[in-house]
Homo-oligomer: A and B are copies of this chain.
């Protein structure tokens, strides 16, 4: 209850979608209604395993989750990170089977949204449709940025860029401010996300600390020089298409 209040009037999903379209009070009620089938999964628990059939859209209401692939050689790659308010699949179709697994990082609260229900909501309200499409666009932009990082950025740049990205995404749902945010992932998780070894993640983290850019104690990430961090990791603050946002 401390990290993100879920009640009948709003939740992280709605808080995020407000940035994508000018939702009416009625729209918000419709969206919250989609999320009433809540389900808990413990930290590091499985949500859906690769090869399973999807039984509905998975929506993260609280906590952090991720999609990942477990490789034949024992390595793991996290494909996407899902924060509160994030939909784990595109909202218009369900695959016959998943080509990746979904797992919890922290304890998570999930909603399992039936595809027909969300489609009906999008049909009924052009603002909901717009917000959902905007969300899909943002998710795609985040994924593109990950490709760029993995392909062409150094370890420290990747790390810094990720920290900036998370800052922006968490701010959207009210879970971060200018000073920093809770970063409830292990260095091994970061390694699987960034395509690095845990040892090198640790050293890159040291570099960022040594450069006076961040502080990371326990699970709290604090910025000491946000502008400097953004510059050092070539982070472009406009990349989430927030210009279409209607801040509440």
Contact = CB atoms under 8 A, between A and B. Distances in A.
A67 B147 CA distance: 12
Interface string A76-95: 11011000000000101101
A76 to B, nearest CB: 7
A118 to B, nearest CB: 13
Q: How many copies make up the complex?
A: 2
Contacts of A137: 90, 93, 95
Given A90-B137, A151-B77, A144 B96 contact: no
21 contacts: A67-B144, A71-B152, A72-B234, A76-B152, A77-B151, A77-B152, A80-B144, A90-B137, A92-B92, A92-B136, A93-B130, A93-B133, A93-B137, A95-B241, A96-B241, A99-B238, A146-B147, A147-B147, A150-B150, A151-B194, A152-B195
Interface of A: 67, 69, 71-73, 75-77, 79-80, 90, 92-93, 95-97, 99-100, 129-130, 133-134, 136-137, 140-141, 143-144, 146-148, 150-153, 192, 194-195, 234, 236, 238-239, 241, 243-244
Q: Which A-B residue pairs are the 9 nearest by beta carbons?
A: A151-B195, A150-B150, A93-B133, A77-B151, A92-B133, A77-B152, A75-B152, A77-B148, A79-B144
